[in-house]
Amino acid sequence: MAKEAIDIAESEARASPNIIEPRDLADLWIGNKTARLQRYELIADYLFELIQSNRLAGTDLSTALREFRSYAIAAANELGQLLHRGSGDSGMGDTMSVDIVGIDAESLR
């Protein structure tokens, strides 16, 4: 009777939607972290090459620089490189500095 009870409990556990198996984790947000980082890298690389190509000027260049910065910050957040607001930082929020050789970001303000 004990064996039968254990067998019934195990079969119910396998049929239960509350049991998470490794194949179920692919649908979770955290399970797609590598794919998100690859997309961030692809877009940031494209923007970096576009910025260095000297094909952009004025507002187009400043927009590309802001977009590059936002993708770099998103990747840094994914990797846990930036403090989250309210986690004991100076109260200034997340900050990141990006220096691109050959471009004076201050002149674009």
Can you tell me which residue has the tokens 């109260």? 91
Token pair, residue 47, equals: 């923007």
- Please count the residues of the chain: 109
What tens digit of pLDDT does each residue of 70-81 get?
888 888 888 876
What tens digit of pLDDT does each residue of 45-58 get?
888 888 889 888 88
pLDDT at site 38: 86
pLDDT at site 40: 87
The alpha carbons of the chain give a radius of gyration, in whole angstroms, of 24
HEC letters along the chain:
CHHHHHHHHHHHHHHCCCCCCHHHHHHCCHHHHHHHHHHHHHHHHHHHHHHHCCCCCHHHHHHHHHHHHHHHHHHHHHCCCCCCCCCCCCCCCCCCCCCCCCCCHHHHC
pTM: 0.51
Rounded to the nearest 10 degrees, how much is the dihedral formed by the CA atoms of 100, 51, 60, 78? -70
